[in-house]
Chains A and B, each alone.
Chain A
Amino acid sequence: MNVSVKPGKLIKGQTGDWEVVIGMEIHAQVTSNAKLFSGASTAFGGEPNTQVSLVDAAMPGMLPVINEECVRQAVRTGLGLNAKINLRSVFDRKNYFYPDLPQGYQISQYKSPIVGEGEVIVELEGGRTATIGIERLHLEQDPAKMLHDKLPSQSLIDLNRAGVALMEIVSKPDIRDAEQAKAYVTKLRSILRYLGTCDGDMEKGSLRADVNVSVRKPGGPLGTRCEIKNMNSINFIGQAIEYEARRQIEIIEDGGVIDQETRLFDPNKGETRSMRSKEEAHDYRYFPDPDLLPLELTQDYVDELKAKLPELPDQKKARFIDSLGLSAYDAGVLVAERESAVFYETVLAGLADRARDGKLAANWVINELFGRLNKEGHDITDSPVSAAQLSAIVGLIGEGTISGKIAKDLFEIVWTEGGDPRELVESRGMKQVTDLGAIEKVVDDIIAANPDKVAQAKAKPQLAGWFVGQVMKQSGGKANPQAVNDLLKAKLGI
């Protein structure tokens, strides 16, 4: 019994509420220069059949030799998932015939995977979290790519991808609704990218998910599951689960039974459809690959990799909260993508007083920068405003040289024209006015011209805001807001 499972959103059927039970197998392409058992390149987008070794093409007498880098990456990933690293693991052959499988078997790990149980904490809406158990992680070969649309009556095969290392990460059936499923993939992807063990590019197929879905009455026995294969978009995963759960509920409520089968999601129609039934399932005839010795690691090796692991999103988030006073939400947003965290930390690095301005910097990155990037379809990696520039803007606000309002103008200028924010503030006279005499004169003039507003403000102090606005307007936004407030309070006697 896994006590950490968070109840998910129940689905209302005609016979009452239904609970969805989801488990996932994520195939993550290992970031490595060479394939799992050969020296051929793993680079994406090469001309077909140009990155193929004799081993990949399964020529007679060719033998696999394990790529140590792939092992290292798998162990690092296991450590990142707080999982048990198995010091002894075994490669097995999964036998089946298909043209995308040159050897006639896929080298995988069946009974003894390299990584055992672990867990991932995922963020849900409203600041909730759920812990999803990891069952195992194993290394295996990617099959080749079939090209069905090049010739009218024949299929072609591109062996470039054949033998590339994949990590299959299998979750426990701890996921309870589409939101949790999406959050799980998002978080896993983030961890892999922090570790640099998988680029997480779902469009290129570097990260694919098989989603097992079943439904049951809350607390009841597990239902029969269907596996939705090869999902390569987080949104589609959510849609497929929603559809599949409802499909199963309808069948059961109509008195039917669920057939255990493999299904495919059609994103155009938003539905899943049967691919093959359990009866058609292969008998893979797994057995230990006699060409490979069991993979044996030392605890020292694992410990060394563990010591060199980068800071992962959960740790980074905790640090942002603890040392910079960020809200859990803001910290979560900043660490979700490795690039965002890197950007934010670069902004931090440029600040003279991180303790004072760290939180302000977070606000600026999340609200101003992300907002703008989203609006204009930019990515954090090609942001028109660099981390150094944003750091300078935040520093100018923090030290009181410019007001928040002016800072927005400055941000606009930097976004569209570029330039050094400090120089821009100088050259364009954007410095905040802190000369009390000058501000006092403006305040006095406005009070004198608006006796009715003065009376109202005295009765209702909240209305003093109108005066602040007027003063800021007259000063072109450059008046120090704190000074304006203090003066108004004194003069209006509130």
Chain B
Amino acid sequence: MTDLTSLTIAEAREGLANKSFTSLELTDAHLAAIEAARSLNAFVLETPEKARDMARAIDAKIAKGEGGPLAGIPLGIKDLFSTRDVRTTACSKILGNFVPPYESTVTSQLWRDGAVMLGKLNNDEFAMGSANETSCFGPVVNPWRREGSNTTLVPGGSSGGSASAVAALLCMGATATDTGGSIRQPAAFTATVGVKPTYGRCSRWGIVAFASSLDQAGPIARTNRDAAILMRSMAGHDPKDSTSVDRAVPDYEAAIGKSVKGMKIGIPKEYRLDGMPTEIEKLWSEGAAWLKAAGAELVDVSLPHTKYALPAYYIVAPAEASSNLARYDGVRYGLREQGRNITEMYENTRAEGFGAEVRRRVMIGTYVLSAGYYDAYYIRAQKVRTLIKKDFEDCFAKGINAILTPATPSAAFGVGEKAGADPVEMYLNDIFTVTVNMAGLPGIAVPAGKDAQGLPLGLQLIGRPFDEETLFSLGEVVEQAAGRFTPPRWW
């Protein structure tokens, strides 16, 4: 029997269907892999008992031929998703040992479709970070290393646990969330496929909020097909989320292998940054060439407001976060640090409960919303956001089907390398991805090659609203051309 953990979801689905192995066997193989990979710190909570119970239950169903699209597939769940009766912390001390009495809509749809939960995955505290170093459970380690080096690298963030676990074969796929690049950047750093769906495509209900107008759940998987399979279960309208969109969920998997002939692919000149590594340049050109070879037409396009996206993002996202995180006050649940009066209790609790990056963003957000600064910061950022959105709309109105860009300005960097530096240096990781969140569009990061040191690099494809299918078709073209990348096991 081949190593069950190296199967794709599509392959495992077949194996389960034709009874080559059971979900329990598949689950046990992953549980063993998780145990052996604790040095990666990808999981913050392993739930082996629950996993086996779920596997047994789904095996019984499979035996009766009632599986569901994800029957028996073991997944990891980012700790931002509330899981009923299973500790959910957003990797923040302030939530302590919070155990929600409810299940997020997205995860409940995964369980509805037969998936098995292996445990909760590490992430940056409240999804704030681009290296998974702000987690109260400590940093996640990237299974990829530079060739000939033992330096531990970050997996990116905030969905670093998800990306690391999927890349290291600890789970077949994972849930993740993306507010400014938190799915796509770690996917690019780990040679996995990460999808940030259109805003409103997946319900936000039960996901610990970072920035409500930007947050969107999506999958991280090892192939485009696997990501498409997961997307179909994660997406859908939810009356409990007013921003979720009532629109039929297509069979995303049907888009895999579909011809991209005649599609117009925009190449935005504003993404060609000064000082961008030549490897990234090369990767981008290569990606464009693959798409062209598959019959797509390349079109130079302009997204003139791109350079304002990151500064505007770092106003909008902290503004919303400062308000979203106000509920962590020590009054009803989570951490409480006593004080002599209510104000002191708040101060002590929040000072003790939040990490440095979260405190920084709460302060930035509070500042930009405060009287006298609101118009200069928040309102202007919203105007920029409208312009960014319009840039894309103009582009799509000219018949562009999708836009190709690099996913990140660099490959994965070392743990601790940027943590102490100017926070802006860390924020620059999201330079290619934040525009997509600001415009509410779908984006996918697909592995496309390696740098000179053997580290994976990704390309990003940006689509029209609710046209994730085109992204999967294009992503598959890149995957077929570039091949798949698996890190050599060293842990």
Q: How far is the CA of A60 from the CA of B343 in the complex (A)?
A: 22
Candidates B242, B331, B332, B370; contact of A291 at CB < 8 Å: B242
17 residue pairs of the A-B complex, CB under 8 angstroms, read A59-B102, A60-B90, A60-B327, A61-B100, A61-B104, A61-B206, A61-B208, A61-B209, A63-B205, A97-B326, A99-B329, A102-B327, A104-B325, A285-B371, A291-B209, A291-B212, A291-B242
Contacts of A57 in B (CB 8 A): 332
- Count the A-B residue pairs with Cβ separation under 8 angstroms: how many? 95
Complex formed: what's the CA distance from A267 to B69 in Å? 67
Contact (A285, B323) CB under 8 Å given A60-B98, A97-B329 = yes
Closest residue on chain A to residue B320 by CB atoms: A290
**Given contacts A104-B327, A290-B213, is CB(A65)–CB(B242) below 8 Å?**
yes
Interface of B is mostly: loop
CB pair A63–B241 under 8 Å, yes or no, is: yes
CB distance from B351 to the nearest CB of A (A): 14
Whether A58 pairs with B332 at a CB distance below 8 angstroms is: yes
Classify the secondary structure of A's interface with B.
loop
A61 to B346 alpha-carbon distance, docked (Å):
21
- With both beta carbons as reference points, the residue of chain A lying nearest to B215 in the complex is identified as A290
Cβ 8 A contact of B208, one of A60, A98, A102, A291: A60
B side interface size, CB within 8 A: 44
- Contacting B242 at CB < 8 Å: which of A54, A62, A97, A293? A293
> Do A103 and B242 have beta carbons less than 8 Å apart?
no
Give the distance in Å from the alpha carbon of A433 to the alpha carbon of B70 in the complex.
95
B312 at the A interface (CB under 8 A):
no
Q: Mark B348-374, 1 if CB is under 8 A from A, else 0.
A: 000000000000000000100111001
| A93 to B100 alpha-carbon distance, docked (Å) | 25
Contact yes or no, B239 A95, CB < 8 A = no
Which of B82, B322, B331 sits near A60, CB closer than 8 Å?
B82
Query: Is A222 interfacial (CB-CB < 8 Å)?
Result: no
Across-interface contacts of B314 in A (CB, < 8 A): none
B206 nearest CB neighbor, chain A only: A61
Interface string of B320-351 (1 = CB under 8 A from A): 10110111010111000000001100100000
The listed residue with most A CB atoms (<10 A of its CB), out of B213, B331, B370, is B331
Closest to A104 in B: B326
Q: In whole angstroms, how far apart are the Cα atoms of A35 and B370 in the complex? A: 29
Contact code string B234-267 (vs A, CB < 8 Å = 1, else 0): 0000011111000000000000000000000000
A95 and B326 contact, CB distance less than 8 A: yes
User: Considering the complex, which residues of chain B in the window 96-152 have a beta carbon less than 8 Å from any beta carbon of chain A?
Assistant: 98, 100-102, 104
- A59/B333 in contact, CB under 8 A: yes
Per the bound structure, the CA–CA distance linking A62 and B331 in Å amounts to 17
Determine if A486 is an interface residue (Cβ-Cβ < 8 Å).
Answer: no
| CB atoms of A65 and B378 under 8 A apart | no
Verify if A472 is at the interface (C-beta below 8 Å from B).
no
Q: Which residues of B contact A102 (CB under 8 A)?
A: 327, 331-332
A157 at the binding interface (Cβ < 8 Å) = yes
Chain B residues with CB under 8 Å of A65's CB are 239-242
Known contacts: A54-B102, A99-B342, A290-B213. The answer to whether A61 contacts B82 by CB under 8 A is yes
Interface pairs A-B: 5 shortest CB-CB: A104-B326, A290-B212, A290-B213, A285-B369, A58-B327
Q: Does B95 contact A (CB under 8 A)?
A: yes
Interface set, chain A 256-309, CB cutoff 8 A to B: 283, 285-287, 290-293
- Let me know if B207 is at the binding interface, CB within 8 A: yes
Which chain B positions have C-beta within 8 A of A95? 322-323, 326, 369
B30 CB to nearest A CB, Å: 26
Complex formed: what's the CA distance from A51 to B378 in Å? Answer: 36
Q: A54-B101, A61-B204, A103-B327 are in contact. List 15 more A-B contacts (CB 8 A).
A: A57-B332, A59-B100, A60-B88, A61-B81, A63-B204, A63-B205, A63-B241, A95-B323, A97-B343, A99-B331, A285-B366, A285-B370, A285-B371, A291-B212, A291-B242
Question: Does B211 reach chain A (CB closer than 8 Å)?
Answer: yes
Shortest Cβ distance from B372 into A: residue: A283
The residue in chain B whose Cβ has the minimal distance to the Cβ of A96 is B326
Cβ of A105 < 8 Å from any Cβ of B?
A: yes
B229 contacts partner chain A, Cβ-Cβ < 8 Å:
no
Task: Please tell me which one of the listed residues A99, A103, A286, A293 contacts residue B326 in the complex, with CB atoms under 8 A apart.
Answer: A103
Q: From residue B372, how far is it (CB to closest CB) to chain A in Å?
A: 9
B371 in complex: contacting residue of A54, A59, A105, A283, CB < 8 Å: A283
Q: Which of A50-108 contact B (CB under 8 A)?
A: 54, 57-66, 93, 95, 97-99, 102-105
For B241, give the chain A residue with the smallest CB separation. Answer: A63
Query: Is B319 an interface position by the 8 A CB rule?
Result: yes
The residue in chain B whose Cβ has the minimal distance to the Cβ of A95 is: B323
Q: What B residues does A66 contact at CB under 8 A?
A: 242
Q: B369 to A62, Cβ gap below 8 A? A: no
In the assembled complex, how far is the CB of residue A118 from the closest CB belonging to chain B, in whole angstroms? 28
Residues of chain A within 8 A of B343, CB atoms compared:
97
**Whole-angstrom CA separation of A64 from B329 in the bound complex:** 19
Q: How far is A95 from B323 in the complex, measured between Cα atoms in Å?
A: 7
Contact call A61/B212, Cβ cutoff below 8 A: no
Which residues from A are CB-within-8-Å of B346? 97
Instruction: Say yes or no: A60-B323 contact (C-beta < 8 A), given A99-B342, A157-B331.
Output: no
Which residues of B lie under 8 Å from residue A285 when comparing CB positions? Answer: 322-323, 366, 369-371, 374
How far apart are A70's CB and chain B's nearest CB, in angstroms? 14
- A57 and B331 alpha carbons, distance in the complex (Å): 10
Counting chain A CB atoms within 10 Å of each CB, the highest count among B205, B206, B323, B369 belongs to: B323
A58 to B209, CA, bound (A): 11
In this complex, what residue of A is CB-closest to B239? A65
Chain A residue at minimum C-beta to C-beta distance from B346: A97
Q: Which of B187-222 contact A (CB under 8 A)?
A: 204-209, 211-213
Of B90, B242, B378, the contact of A63 (CB 8 Å cutoff): B242
Q: How many whole Å from B319's CB to the nearest CB in chain A?
A: 6
